[in-house]
Structure 1
Amino acid sequence: MTWSLMPLLLMVVITIVLRQAAWWGLILHFRLFSKSTTALNQILAREDVSDLGVRISTSFPGMTRILRARLTPSRYIGLPLTLTVIAALYIAALLGGLVEELMEADELVRLDENINQGLDTIRTDSVITVFSWITDLGGSAALIAVTLVTTGLLWAHHRRQIIASLWFTILGSQVTTYAGKYLFARQRPEFVTDIGAFTPSFPSGHATSAMALYGFIAYVIASDLMTRRQRFEVVYWAAVLIILIGFSRMLLGLHYASDIAAGFLVGGFWLLLGLALAENNRHQQHQQPCGCN
C-alpha cells in the first residue's frame, strides 16, 4: 500500500471507531435519561409536591396552560418543539459570535490559515481525487438534482406535506448563505489544486447545502424506521457525509475552517426550522378527520 492511500485508510478507521463510540454513548444517554425520568416522576408523585402543583395551577391558570403546552414531552408541539426552537436560537447565537470573531479577532484568521497549511501533509494525489468527488455532492448541481428527486419521491409516496418543509429549508439556507457571502465578501484562501471557485468565501455554500439537504433527507428516512439502531445508522452516516463534504472544501483549499463552521451553523439553523415545520404539518394532518363513512 502506497503512502498516498494512508490518510484515506486512517479516515475510514476513525469513522468506524467513532460510529461504535457514538452508539455506546447513545445507549448510555438513553439509560441515564430513563433513570432521571423515573426519579423525576417519583418526586412529582409525592403528596406535598402534588399539592404545590395544584395550588400553582389554581393561582396561575393561564401560565400553567402555556407551560403544559410547551413542556408536554409526548407531543412534538410540546417539549420537542420547544427544545428545537431553543436549539435554533442557540445556533443563531453561535453564528453571530463566529461572525463577530471573524470581523474583530486576528486570532481566528491566523487559526484558519494554520489549519489550511497543516492539511498540506495529507494532500496526496489519491486524497485529492477522492475528495474532489465528495465535494461535488455539496455543489449546486447536486443540490438541485437531489432536491428535485427527493421532492418527486415524497410526492410519489404520498408525503406531500413534507415537500414545503424541504423547500423552505433549502431556499432559506441558500438565501442566507449567499447574502452572507456578498455582505462579508471574504476572500478565499490561495487555491492549491486545479479546482477553483468564484463566489466569496464566508460562509461555505457546500457546507450549508450538505447540512440542510442531507440532514433533511436523513430525517425523512429515519422517521419511517422502526428501531433505534436503524435510525442511528441513518443519522450517523448522514453526519459523516456532511462532515466529509465540509472537510473537502478545506482539503482542496477552497475554504477556511471558519467558513465551514459558519456553513454548518446556517444549514443547521434552517434544518431545525424545516423539521419543526414538517412535524407541525404532520401533526395537523393527523388531527384532521379522515372523512371515512
Structure 2
Amino acid sequence: MKNHWTSKISFSLLAAALSLCAFIGIALSISDNQIHRFDDVLISWIQGMESPGMTRWMQFFTWIGSGRQVVIITILAMLVLYLYLGHRRELLFLASVLVGSTLLNALLKVAFGRARPTIHRIIEISGYSFPSGHSMASFSLYGGLAFLIWKHIPSFTGRVFMMVASAAFILTIGMSRIYLGVHYPSDVVGGYFISGCWLFTCIWFYRRYLQRLSGLQTSSLV
C-alpha cells in the first residue's frame, strides 16, 4: 500500500501542486491589488543599491536571461549531454521544459495583461509584465540542468556547489529585472512558482517514463 501511494504521489508532483497554489495566490493578490506593499518594499530595497557598477552587472544578467542567450546555453548543454554523456532522453526532457515554459509564459502574459512598472526604468522594454519571462526561463533552464546533472556529480560538495550556482543564476536574473525597472517583484516570484510547477510536472512525467521503460526492459529479459 505504501509503495502504491508513493508511486501515485511523488515529491515532484507534490512540489508542482504547491508551486501552482503559490502562483494562484500571487495572481489573486495582483487581481485584488493587495500585493503592492510587497512590491513597493522590494523595489525600494533593490533599486536603492543603484550604482554604475551594479547597473552594468544587472544588465549583464538580464542579457544572459534573454531569449537568444537562453537558446544558446540550452543548445550547448544539450550538446554536452549528448556528446560526453551519450544521453538522448535527457535532450527531449530539457527541450520540453524550455519550450513548454516559453509557451506558458506567453499565454499567461496575455491572460493577465498586467502593465509593466513605469517608475524609474533603466532600460525600455515592451509587452506585459506578469509573469516574468526571464524568471521562468532561468528557473526552467538551470533547474532542469541541475536535475539532469545531479546524478553525474559523485561528491556531496560538488552537488552543493551546483545547487548554489544554479540558485544564484536564477535569483540574480530575476533580481536584475526588478533593478532595471521592467518588472514588479511579484512578476518575478510568480514566474518562479509557475515555472517550478511546470518543471516538477515534467520531472514527474520523465521519471514515470523511465520507470515504465525499465519495466519493459526487465520484462523482455524474463
TM-score using structure 2 length: 0.89
State the Cα deviation string for residues 39-68 of structure 1 (Å, max 9, x = none). Answer: xxxxxxxxxxxxxxxxxxxxxxxxx3xx42
Q: Distance in 2 between matches of 1:232 and 1:143?
A: 23
SS at match of 2:97: helix
Q: CA deviation at 1:194?
A: 4.5
User: Which residue does 2:159 correspond to in 1?
Assistant: 231
Matches within 5 A, 1:193-232: 193-232=121-160
Question: Pick from 117, 121, 141: which aligns with 2:68?
Answer: 141
Relative contact order higher in (CA < 8 Å, ≥ 6 apart): 2
User: Which residue does 1:70 correspond to in 2?
Assistant: 5
State the Cα deviation string for residues 100-139 of structure 1 (Å, max 9, x = none). Answer: 11101x3312431343234332111110001100111211
SS at match of 2:131: coil
The two structures, once aligned, show a CA RMSD in angstroms of: 2.2
Task: Pick the structure with greater CA Rg.
Answer: 1
Matches within 5 A, 1:94-243: 94-104=22-32, 106-156=33-83, 157-190=85-118, 192-243=120-171
Distance 1:194 1:162, change over 3 A: same
State the Cα deviation string for residues 54-91 of structure 1 (Å, max 9, x = none). Answer: xxxxxxxxxx3xx42333xxxxxx38x61211110111
1:165 and 1:278 in contact (8 A); partners too: yes
User: Which residue does 1:273 correspond to in 2?
Assistant: 201
Q: Distance in 1 between matches of 2:135 and 2:99?
A: 14
SS at match of 1:122: coil
Q: Distance in 1 between matches of 2:73 and 2:147?
A: 15
2:93 and 2:206 in contact (8 A); partners too: yes
2:122 and 2:181 in contact (8 A); partners too: no
TM-score using structure 1 length: 0.69
Aligned residue type for 1:199: G
User: Which residue does 1:40 correspond to in 2?
Assistant: none
Q: CA deviation at 1:227?
A: 2.3
Q: CA deviation at 1:155?
A: 2.5
| Percent pairwise identity | 22
1:169 and 1:273 in contact (8 A); partners too: no
Q: Distance in 2 between matches of 1:251 and 1:194?
A: 8
Q: CA deviation at 1:226?
A: 1.4
2:135 and 2:188 in contact (8 A); partners too: yes
1:191 and 1:253 in contact (8 A); partners too: yes
Q: CA deviation at 1:150?
A: 2.0
1:166 and 1:274 in contact (8 A); partners too: no
Q: Distance in 2 between matches of 1:231 and 1:274?
A: 21
Distance 1:242 1:126, change over 3 A: same
Distance 1:163 1:120, change over 3 A: closer
Q: Please list every run of 5 or more consecutive structure 1 residues that lacks an aligned counterpart in the other structure.
A: 1-63, 72-77
Q: CA deviation at 1:284?
A: 4.1
State the Cα deviation string for residues 203-246 of structure 1 (Å, max 9, x = none). Answer: 00000000000111112222211122221211121011100111
Distance 1:267 1:103, change over 3 A: same
